[in-house]
Amino acid sequence: MSRADEIPVAESWPMFKWLWASYLNPYKWPVSISFVLMALEGSMMGFLAYVLKPMFDQVFVEGNQETMKWVALSIMGIFIVRGVSGMIQKMIMNWVGQKSSAAIRRDLLEHVMKLDTAFHNNHPPGHLITRVSGDAGSLASVWRGFILGVGRDLVSVISLTAVAISIDWRWTLIALIGAPLLMVPILIVQRFVRTQSRRSRMLASDIVVRMDEIFHGINQIKLNALEDYQHTRFVSLQDESIAISLQSNFSRALIPTLVDVITGVGFVGVLYFAGGEILAGDKTIGEFMSFFTAMLLVFEPLRRLAGLAGSWQDFASGLERVKHLFDLKPSIVSAPGAIRVPPERPEIRLDNVSLAYGELPVLRQTSFVAEAGKTTALVGPSGAGKSTVFNIVTRLVDPDQGQVTIGGRPSKEIELGTLRSMFAVVTQESLLFDETLRENITLGRDNVSDEELQRALEAAHVTDFVDQLLKGLDSDVGARGNLLSGGQRQRVAIARALLRDAPILLLDEATSALDVKSEAVVQKALDRLSAGRTTIVIAHRLSTVRDADKIVVMNQGRVIEEGTHDQLLAKNGAYAELYRTQFRLDETEPA
């Protein structure tokens, strides 16, 4: 599988700053409030440890009833404040997390749609789906857990340590003396988790790609009995993903375990040291209990903080993937000052246009003119570069050299949206969306009048079959239109193009998909569609080629001949040869 999904390791901190500036800054007030509440929640633990001292010394040892009352009230207050602030703060952070990740997804999708066709050719949909949906979404959950944890736990640790120090700084020192030893394993684990997390995300997107291909190609898989093969490939990806995730979880679990061991040693040290002082009467039981509770309570947040090293890496690897995608810029953009008014007479001119895909030259100094309002047919063997001409005039790709002008304007000087609105494209794989027939024809335009729609349906011969569908125009066409036949799909595409009423028509005649009867119907529909429009047609039909105002013959990316049918036949060159071999059969058939 291609590793187009592989991206360079990025520094975490600048990425986080970008995330903050772009997506979290609007929520700075809710986040600040949340932090205050976290601090409140965390500090309550310190208070709890603190009130244990009077409880033991004044209530249990001295038997002071009055103190017992306020100790009880304080404990109650501590838990109420902790509970309420915890809840509000979680709600706020949840809200911020959802909102910000929805914004990231929205922008990412918009951005990815703008990226060049070349980018999309190299990035299978599965990879992009994982990035937009999975990675952006996981950011929110990691970020929520992360921030929630850091804020509250940090304050807990600080307040509890403060209580411990206030009781005896030497005891605290003994208890925490092993903590610096944790730094080395934390750093090692961080590195490892980052690597694993990156691999795990790449695998996750590979798994989606595999599923996408399986479901897209389900009929091919069944017909070629590829179920086992696909299944095995899927399982092996999944096994690898599980292995990585287990390794990563194991190494993450290691740090809290080390915290346990080191704290255990610290406890024993304190017990030994403090025990002597209490026996000697230098310290009270209350002081010891308070200290001991603080140490017990500091333990849990400390473990969690130590575990955060791993979450941070998870977060960073998700962020890295999202940010990397945002950093890619489309190269096909409107020139500064591009016009937004379509040129009047949409004559299309290719001027020495060359294009190579990698090493492979696809167009070599191709030049021809498609006159406004006329039909120009492109003919030539498969692979000659005919479809590439379509992609170049619509700017799905830009040529390496040469230029395309439309109505005398270089196409780059026409704003991209305006340029594309000038074209209606009907190709062999005209894509239908998984929506109703009506939605597929109107394509989101809600200003289409009933008469307009009706005219288009009739002209495209959609009316011929629409009544046979159970719900008429409101019938679903299925994924990629698979509930319709090839001929029906094409007529839908023609109706769409008629409604679009664009001045330029690009037509890739797909005869192969159609039976003789549908072909005749589609042909009639196409004739109506192309009337009066600048039409470039990749021609397969004899009639189109004959009737075209001009025929451009292409071979290996070059224009080798051009002229009318009669001129080219008289020339007796490549076209005449092509015509004789390719269309001999058709000629013998009655027209």
**Integer Cα distance of 173 and 153 in angstroms:** 20
**Binding to ligand ADP by residue 362, rule CB under 6 A?**
yes
**Integer Cα distance of 208 and 126 in angstroms:** 5
Shortest Å, Cβ 121 to ligand ADP: 5
Shortest Å, Cβ 381 to ligand ADP: 7
**Binding to ligand ADP by residue 152, rule CB under 6 A?**
no
**Binding to ligand ADP by residue 70, rule CB under 6 A?**
no
Cβ atoms within 10 Å of 122's Cβ, excluding its own: 11
Q: Residue 139 carries which side chain, given as an amino acid letter?
A: L
* Out of 382, 447, 449, 588, the residue judged to bind ligand ADP by CB under 6 A: 382
Shortest Å, Cβ 506 to ligand ADP: 12
* Out of 22, 94, 230, 387, the residue judged to bind ligand ADP by CB under 6 A: 387
**Binding to ligand ADP by residue 384, rule CB under 6 A?**
yes
**Binding to ligand ADP by residue 383, rule CB under 6 A?**
yes
Stretch that binds ligand ADP, among 32-40, 337-345, 377-385, 544-552 (CB under 6 A): 377-385
The nearer residue to ligand ADP, 151 or 399, going by C-beta atoms, is 399
Shortest Å, Cβ 365 to ligand ADP: 15
The nearer residue to ligand ADP, 43 or 366, going by C-beta atoms, is 366
Shortest Å, Cβ 328 to ligand ADP: 17
**Integer Cα distance of 575 and 226 in angstroms:** 43
Task: Please return the burial class of 276, using the count of CB atoms within 10 Å of its CB with bins 0-12, 13-18 and 19+.
Answer: exposed
**Binding to ligand ADP by residue 536, rule CB under 6 A?**
no
**Integer Cα distance of 117 and 123 in angstroms:** 10
CA angle 48–297–181, rounded 5-degree value:
145
Task: State the DSSP code for 474.
Answer: G
**Binding to ligand ADP by residue 379, rule CB under 6 A?**
no
Stretch that binds ligand ADP, among 86-94, 379-387, 524-532, 567-575 (CB under 6 A): 379-387
Task: State the DSSP code for 335.
Answer: P
* Out of 388, 411, 488, 535, the residue judged to bind ligand ADP by CB under 6 A: 388
The nearer residue to ligand ADP, 360 or 516, going by C-beta atoms, is 360
The nearer residue to ligand ADP, 363 or 526, going by C-beta atoms, is 363
Stretch that binds ligand ADP, among 80-88, 90-98, 383-391, 567-575 (CB under 6 A): 383-391
* Out of 194, 201, 386, 496, the residue judged to bind ligand ADP by CB under 6 A: 386
The nearer residue to ligand ADP, 121 or 236, going by C-beta atoms, is 121
**Binding to ligand ADP by residue 573, rule CB under 6 A?**
no
Task: Please return the burial class of 4, using the count of CB atoms within 10 Å of its CB with bins 0-12, 13-18 and 19+.
Answer: middle
543: which 2 tokens? 């009639």
Cβ atoms within 10 Å of 324's Cβ, excluding its own: 16
The nearer residue to ligand ADP, 295 or 379, going by C-beta atoms, is 379
* Sole residue written with tokens 């390719």: 582
Helices (H), 501-591: 516-530, 542-547, 565-571, 574-588
**Binding to ligand ADP by residue 385, rule CB under 6 A?**
yes
The nearer residue to ligand ADP, 19 or 362, going by C-beta atoms, is 362
Q: With contact defined as beta carbons under 8 Å apart, do 122 and 2 qualify?
A: yes
The nearer residue to ligand ADP, 305 or 397, going by C-beta atoms, is 397
The nearer residue to ligand ADP, 96 or 362, going by C-beta atoms, is 362
Shortest Å, Cβ 385 to ligand ADP: 4
Q: Give 581's contacts (C-beta < 8 A, 6+ positions apart).
A: none
Q: Give 442's contacts (C-beta < 8 A, 6+ positions apart).
A: 448, 453, 499
Instruction: Report which of 138, 145, 85, 78 is spatially closest to residue 108, judged by C-alpha positions.
Output: 138
**Number of chain positions touching ligand ADP (CB under 6 A):** 12
**Integer Cα distance of 126 and 137 in angstroms:** 15
Q: Residue 114 carries which side chain, given as an amino acid letter?
A: K
Q: With contact defined as beta carbons under 8 Å apart, do 439 and 433 qualify?
A: yes
Helix (H), strand (E) at residue 285: helix 285-327
The 81-120 contact track toward ligand ADP, x by CB under 6 A, reads ----------------------------------------
Shortest Å, Cβ 427 to ligand ADP: 10
Stretch that binds ligand ADP, among 274-282, 346-354, 380-388, 442-450 (CB under 6 A): 380-388
The 115-144 contact track toward ligand ADP, x by CB under 6 A, reads ------x-----------------------
Sheet architecture: strand order including 409-410: 360-370, 348-357, 401-406, 409-410
The 321-360 contact track toward ligand ADP, x by CB under 6 A, reads ------------------------------------x--x
Cβ atoms within 10 Å of 469's Cβ, excluding its own: 17
The nearer residue to ligand ADP, 14 or 381, going by C-beta atoms, is 381
Task: Please return the burial class of 90, using the count of CB atoms within 10 Å of its CB with bins 0-12, 13-18 and 19+.
Answer: middle
The nearer residue to ligand ADP, 74 or 555, going by C-beta atoms, is 555
Residues 389-418, interacting with ligand ADP (CB under 6 A): none
- Three-state secondary structure string covering 398-433: CCCEEEEEECCEEHHHECHHHHHHCEEEECCCCCCC
Shortest Å, Cβ 362 to ligand ADP: 4
Helix (H), strand (E) at residue 277: helix 227-279
**Footprint on this chain of ligand ADP (rule: CB under 6 A):** 121, 357, 360, 362, 380, 382-388
